[in-house]
A = this chain, B = another copy of it.
C-alpha cells in the first residue's frame, strides 16, 4: 500500500467538482459533487443522533438497493430541523442532480452541513446545479474537497493504492470537521471513492470496521451532530477479483480503507475548532478494547484535561479524575498509571495504564483554547 496523489478522482472512473452557489456569505465553495461513470456499490454509516437531518433520511431510502452513482453535498446549511420543506428540498436536490447527470434520482446521495434550523436556500442550488454537473472532471477533486468544508481551515484528503491479485486498486477520501466532533460520527462528513470490485455487503462491513477504528475514536468537543455520514462508492473499475468474502483481499482492502479513514480522522482533530495541539490518549492494560476506548474518550472529552493541554500542563490529576469518572470499581489510584510523552509544541501523548488486562485503544482529540470559545460564540 502506498500513498498517491490525485485525490478522490484518482480511483478509475470518478469525476468531481465544486463551486460556490452563494449559501456561504464568504463566497467560498459550498457545493460539492462526486460522480462515478458507472453505478457503484455503496455503503454508508450515519450519526447515531436521533435527530437526523433531512438529507440523511433521503440517503437511507436511496441506499436500500446498496448502490449509488453520485454524492451531492452543500455546506453552510445543515438542512436539519427544517420539517417537511427540508425533506422536500433534499429530495429535490437529488432529483435535480440526477436530471443533469441523466441517472436515477435514487442513485444520488445527498449530504448537508452547516447551521441547523434554517431553511435550505434551495433556489441557490437549483441555479448552480447545471454548472456543477457540467464542470465535473478528473481534476475537480480539490474543488469537491473544498465544497464540503464549514469552519475547517483546510482541505482533508488522502489517496492510497494497493495491489489486489495483480491489479492496482485505489482508495481515496475527503472529509470535513471541525466542530461537533465526537464519537459515533459527530459532525463529520467523509466520502470515499474506490475502483475496487467488492460486493455491497463486504463494502458495508469494511466501512463499519474502518469507521470504528477511526472516526469513532476522535472527539473535538464531545458534541454529536445531526448530519454525520461516511459514504463509500466502489465502482469496480480496477477489475480486481470481486471481494465477496472476508478473505485475504478483504483484509488488505479494509486495512487500506482504515488507513485512509484514520488519516482523515486525525486531520479533523488537527483542524479542530481552535485547536493548538493534537492529543493522543493511549489506554492500555484494559480488560476489553471497549473499556479502553471509553476511558480514552472520558479523558479526551474532559474540558479540564483539554484546557491543561492548551496550557502545556501535564496535569495527570485531571486525567485520573476523568478516567475515574467512568465509575468502574477496578479503576483506582492503586492500579492506575499515567504518563505523558515528552512535550512537543503541537503534540501531546497521554498514556493511561489501567493495569487490569491486556487490551488497548487510542483516542484522538484537540485542546480547548480561547479560540474554540471564540469560534462558537460568533458562529451563527
Residues on A facing B (Cβ under 8 Å): 48-52, 78, 80-81, 83, 115-117, 179-180, 182, 184, 221-226, 301-304, 307-308, 310-311, 313, 315-318, 320-333, 336, 368-370, 372-374, 376-378, 380
B51, B303, B329, B377: the one contacting A310 at CB < 8 Å is B377
Known: A115-B317, A378-B311. A49 touches B327 (CB 8 A): yes
B50, B116, B304: the one contacting A318 at CB < 8 Å is B116
Contacts of A315 in B (CB 8 A): 116, 380
**Docked complex Cα distance between A315 and B78 (Å):** 14
Q: Which residue of B is nearest A324, CB measured? A: B51
Q: A49-B324, A81-B316, A308-B376 are in contact. List 14 more A-B contacts (CB 8 A).
A: A48-B327, A49-B327, A51-B321, A80-B317, A116-B317, A182-B325, A184-B327, A222-B303, A226-B321, A307-B373, A310-B373, A313-B380, A370-B370, A370-B373
Find out whether the CB atom of B50 lies under 8 angstroms from the CB atom of A324: yes
Find out whether the CB atom of B321 lies under 8 angstroms from the CB atom of A180: yes
Find out whether the CB atom of A50 lies under 8 angstroms from the CB atom of B116: no
**Docked complex Cα distance between A106 and B136 (Å):** 79
**Docked complex Cα distance between A374 and B311 (Å):** 9
Find out whether the CB atom of A221 lies under 8 angstroms from the CB atom of B303: yes
Residue in A49, A179, A321 whose Cβ sees the most chain B Cβ within 10 Å: A321
The 3 A-B residue pairs with the shortest CB-CB distance, nearest first, are A116-B317, A51-B324, A307-B376
Contacts of A48 in B (CB 8 A): 325, 327
Find out whether the CB atom of B380 lies under 8 angstroms from the CB atom of A374: no
Residue in A304, A326, A336, A372 whose Cβ sees the most chain B Cβ within 10 Å: A304
**Docked complex Cα distance between A50 and B321 (Å):** 8
B116, B223, B320: the one contacting A51 at CB < 8 Å is B320
Find out whether the CB atom of A50 lies under 8 angstroms from the CB atom of B332: yes
Q: Which residue of B is nearest A371, CB measured? A: B373
Q: Which residue of B is nearest A187, CB measured? A: B321
**Docked complex Cα distance between A328 and B317 (Å):** 34
Find out whether the CB atom of B373 lies under 8 angstroms from the CB atom of A324: no
Q: Which residue of B is nearest A80, CB measured? A: B317
Q: Which residue of B is nearest A227, CB measured? A: B321
Find out whether the CB atom of A224 lies under 8 angstroms from the CB atom of B324: yes
Contacts of A225 in B (CB 8 A): 321
Find out whether the CB atom of B224 lies under 8 angstroms from the CB atom of A117: no
Known: A50-B327, A81-B317. A223 touches B377 (CB 8 A): no
Known: A224-B324, A303-B223. A332 touches B51 (CB 8 A): yes
**Docked complex Cα distance between A316 and B330 (Å):** 40
Contacts of A50 in B (CB 8 A): 324, 326-332
